[in-house]
Structure 1
């Protein structure tokens, strides 16, 4: 049940990072702590990766508003070459 509070970074997740800028062909590599989860091609993809990593209650708005995510090469609205 969603309480309006941000989920804590439990389940061994301390830091979610988009460590590289968007690729020329689109997509961003997604890394949580030291594990690379894959390549996200949209905000929805990134949200799904984080849900699978233990943040089941997070939605796209939680991802966009989180200070725990480090965006590189543009924000949540940039998925190709900035």
Structure 2
């Protein structure tokens, strides 16, 4: 029997694979807000809470990404992984 933590990581990686493999020109195109949510949860799961400086004025995309990640506060990595999986299930199932 697999360990619960290992199953948790496998589910997260499977969800990441689904999102990364969405066709660029497919019939379903997630909104920028949806993709920003996935980005922030992914960063939180992989790196933990945002501790890097906010990008400068001339990097508006970087600032949006940073803001979304920073809003997650001190959420731990496991919670971020679970939230990513739950979000993917809500959007695609």
User: TM > 0.5 between the two?
Assistant: no
The TM-score with structure 2 as length reference comes to 0.27
The TM-score with structure 1 as length reference comes to 0.30
Normalized per residue, which structure has more strand? Answer: 1
